[in-house]
Amino acid sequence: MVESTKYIYDFSEGSADMRTLLGGKGANLAQMWKIGLPVPPGFIITTEACHKYWEEKDFIAGIWDDVEAAVARVEKLAGKKFGSSENPLLVSVRSGAPVSMPGMMDTILNLGLNDDTVAALAKSAGDERFAYDSYRRFIQMFSDVVLEVDLEKFEERLAQARENAGVKEDYKIPAEELKKLVVDYKKIVEEAGCTFPTDPWVQLRLAIDAVFRSWNTPRAITYRKINNIPAEYGTAVNIVTMVFGNLGDDCGTGVCFTRSPSNGENKLFGEYLINAQGEDVVAGIRTPVPIASLEKAMPEVYKEFHRIAKLLETHYRDAQDIEFTVERGKLYILQTRNGKRTASAAVRIAMDMLHEGLIDAETAVSRVAPEQVEQLLHPQLDPKAKRDMIVKGLPASPGAAVGKVVFDADEAAERGGKGEAVILVRPETTPDDIHGLFAAQGVLTSHGGMTSHAAVVARGLGKPCVSGAESVKIDLVAGTFSVGGVTVKKDDFLTLDGTNGDVILGKIELIEPQFDENFRELLEDADKISNMQVWANADTPEDARRARSFGAKGIGLCRTEHMFMAAERLPVMQEMVVATTTEERVAQLKKLEVMQEEDFLGIFEAMEGLPVTVRLLDPPLHEFLPKIPELTKALEGLAPESAEAKKINATIARARELHEQNPMLGFRGCRLGMIFPEIYEMQARAIFNAACKLTKKGLRIIPDIMIPLVGTQEEMKSMRKLVDETGAAVIKETGVKLEYMVGTMIELPRAALVADQLAEYAQFFSFGTNDLTQTTFGYSRDDAEGKFLGQYVEMGVFEENPFARLDRDGVGALMEIAVGKGRSVRPGIQLGICGEHGGNPSSIAFCNKLKLNYVSCSPFRVPVARLSAALAALGVLK
Ligand code: PEP
Ligand code: MG
């Protein structure tokens, strides 16, 4: 007999490791049930059922008997009956994907209510107000989620009910007024052309259908895209006995993080509302009170909650985000999940838990994602700048944001998408605003707490957010907000400090970020785990110092041509480039040599004790050629036969001669050294002189000299000889002992293919994957990105731009060949990468597979690379 697939699991049948099948919420509810925590009875319809739902028409009908049986089991546990007009069981129906997507999909509470059951509920609870409050909520939520009736009419009518009753808060509306509200709510549904189902079983079926449907709403799709969540996951449906936080003042509901999701501080961080249901807390309509005050309001409940929160944290060995409800003094846990957190909170929580002995160093390091490190390196507001603070809200998501005020999510998405810096200002945000939040620099809301939608989403996106700035009065129609006598218009500049909640009028200067102790320690642990070192690409002593302070263990690429870009040097360089005789060239080179030696002295000193890889000149020649229009202009007014005019004309002729159609494939790299050896000789001498001078002073200098764009063995052989001879002369002259290496970049497919031949002369290889990508694809690295690569990515030709993320199949395959061939000739050959990919997490993971010795990237990416290298070694990053 073929066993039929099981699509429904009771809580007692699941566990935390079943999240793929049961979704995160379901798996954790089952786990909490298992360890005896107070979870209301319920069951889960699996994510596999979601797949079937999208494949098969009428799938839900096919599993209906099982749903009925599961409800019957819940009825038994809850001691209530679904649809009964005596002691009715009400349920919540909530979505739950394998990874959490806060607020992205749908929830229906109080399902099972109709005109009969509401009366029974009023009777059994002894509270008519509560019963009708639950009923009106149910009609509103069900109509929104299932029937897709516009919410606005319900909100208007609710506001009217408050007015009729002369109260400000929903929970103060009396029963009589709520009864009228329910009648009118049903009318709104009818006017929208829908029928509100009165049969609880029909309600349940439609709700399950809506949850499955919600997996493919535009907002869920956008969220998945932003967060790289595969569409194949699907969502489970959780059907759980309702417990009520809206039964009076000994009831309430809240959400709580076991540690601060904002800065990681180890204390309960949450908020709750008395006499309310779950959606009131996250919707941002009522601003909830901090969890600490629960200790006074309900001391016993607080004690129990504190115990469970710590227990869950120890159980999951991670900071938890918990939803709870208190019904008549009894605490229920409705959900727990690993709490989303900002980058700085992630670092602090990981390191604190490591120190507390809760997790090991490997786990601590893998708790931080490379993208989060980028957030830590975001600029901060200059603390010395004058702050024209207009209001202080809640510090909901840290960091600094500066931009122009916009009030509409669509507009924020459009303008932000075009690169304009905008700040989204809203009374509160909803999941439909996600695209605007994503494109804005930061978010300001006048309502909602630290766990409001805006706060949660902003933290997830690493965007600064100030929420709950209640005194901000927003006029969406006029496009203004006012606070404390100041009126701010659309397009005015605003600065947010999400770290402390300051809202500042105008623009504030930003400064470079600082490393804190936890982050330093985390990266040191990462270094111990990594198989590869992280070096930096640095051309100046200042860059070298920065790289070293960020933890670089060497310089993997010092581009010497950049040294000649400075205003006072460029003319000398140009004279050298256009020189027609060796003497002329040598005369200019002498001047350049003095400057070069200075440069190297500075860099070597900054990197004392660590290797510095200096690449000999590789100028795409056109960058150094004098501009012909400028020369022609300089000729104006000069007598044609004058010496000056003659010189200019000669330069023009030489510039024309040197002009190339394809400079990137032209007279570059070692080709220059082959044709004009005096250039490389000068550079080698400057390097050796600087290194020997410092060595003489007692510093440990480790220079490695790198030959660019080598494609043949002969090039490598001649250049090595030239460098060695120059070195030998300087070393002899200065009488110091200096160890150095001469190696090459692998940046041409041919170099990769003949790497064994090159390794006979090259003591190290460094993959120049910028050029290697350019020459492997035949795409100009200067043009392709602006011309067609963007569209290629959109069309799906590439998942990502191959100049940013290494193309493993092509460029990577060449690297693999080069690694194999290089090692076959020189087993211990030092291997590294210095193209831009050296700072890209996925590319770093690939380098780890090839067992390179180091990756080298720009100084600011060093921390990201250090973490990525560790994650690659742990197999977390593949
Ligand atoms: C490379 O080609 O990857 C490289 C590092 O050299 P450059 O970017 O200077 O050409
Ligand atoms: Mg290159």
Find where tokens 């200059």 sit: 382
d(C-alpha 217, C-alpha 238), whole Å = 19
* Ligand 1 atom at shortest distance from the alpha carbon of 557: 5
Nearest protein CA to atom 6 of ligand 1, as residue = 768
The pLDDT assigned to 4 comes to 65
Q: Flag whether 615 is marked binding.
A: yes
Find where tokens 């979505």 sit: 95
Active-site residues, by number, are: 453, 834
* Ligand 1 atom at shortest distance from the alpha carbon of 747: 2
Q: Flag whether 747 is marked binding.
A: yes
Quick one: DSSP state of residue 5?
Answer: P
Ligand 1 pocket: which of 557, 781, 861 to mutate (most atoms within 8 A of CB): 557
The alpha carbon of 620 and the centre of ligand 2 are apart by a number of angstroms equal to: 10
Positions of the chain with pLDDT lower than 70, given as ranges: 1-4, 103-104, 282-285, 378, 450-451, 460
Pocket lining: 834 vs ligand 1, CB cutoff 6 Å: yes
d(C-alpha 655, C-alpha 444), whole Å = 56
Strands 486-489 and 480-483: antiparallel
Sequence-distant (≥ 6) Cβ neighbours of residue 461 within 8 angstroms: 226, 437, 438
* Beta carbons within 10 angstroms of residue 341's beta carbon: 27
Q: Flag whether 559 is marked binding.
A: yes
Nearest protein CA to atom 1 of ligand 1, as residue = 768
pLDDT in tens, 322-367: 999 999 999 999 999 999 888 889 999 999 999 999 999 999 999 9
Of 846, 714, 823, 702, nearest to 769 (Cα)?
A: 846
The pLDDT assigned to 92 comes to 96
Please compute Rg for the chain using Cα positions. 34
* Ligand 1 atom at shortest distance from the alpha carbon of 769: 3
Ligand 1 pocket: which of 745, 766, 774, 861 to mutate (most atoms within 8 A of CB): 745
Nearest protein CA to atom 8 of ligand 1, as residue = 770
Whole-model pTM: value is: 0.82
Ligand 1 pocket: which of 555, 616, 747 to mutate (most atoms within 8 A of CB): 747
d(C-alpha 80, C-alpha 846), whole Å = 57
Sequence-distant (≥ 6) Cβ neighbours of residue 774 within 8 angstroms: 664, 780, 781, 803
The structure tokens listed for 791 are 């569209």
d(C-alpha 209, C-alpha 111), whole Å = 14
d(C-alpha 249, C-alpha 160), whole Å = 24
Sequence-distant (≥ 6) Cβ neighbours of residue 602 within 8 angstroms: 540, 541, 544
Pocket lining: 339 vs ligand 1, CB cutoff 6 Å: no
* Beta carbons within 10 angstroms of residue 122's beta carbon: 18
Pocket lining: 557 vs ligand 1, CB cutoff 6 Å: yes
Quick one: DSSP state of residue 2?
Answer: P
The pLDDT assigned to 511 comes to 77
d(C-alpha 783, C-alpha 781), whole Å = 6
d(C-alpha 848, C-alpha 871), whole Å = 10
Pocket lining: 497 vs ligand 1, CB cutoff 6 Å: no
The alpha carbon of 865 and the centre of ligand 2 are apart by a number of angstroms equal to: 20
What string of DSSP letters covers 314-374?
Answer: HHHTS-EEEEEEEETTEEEEEEEEEPP--HHHHHHHHHHHHHTTSS-HHHHHHTS-HHHHH
Pocket lining: 617 vs ligand 1, CB cutoff 6 Å: no
Of 333, 260, 248, nearest to 290 (Cα)?
A: 260
Pocket lining: 770 vs ligand 1, CB cutoff 6 Å: yes
d(C-alpha 667, C-alpha 608), whole Å = 34
The alpha carbon of 838 and the centre of ligand 1 are apart by a number of angstroms equal to: 11
* Ligand 1 atom at shortest distance from the alpha carbon of 770: 3
The end-to-end CA distance of the chain, in Å, is 41
Largest CA distance in the chain: 113
The pLDDT assigned to 285 comes to 63
Q: In what order do the strands lie in the sheet with 252-257?
A: 289-290, 269-274, 252-257, 320-327, 330-338
The pLDDT assigned to 2 comes to 43
* Ligand 1 atom at shortest distance from the alpha carbon of 767: 3
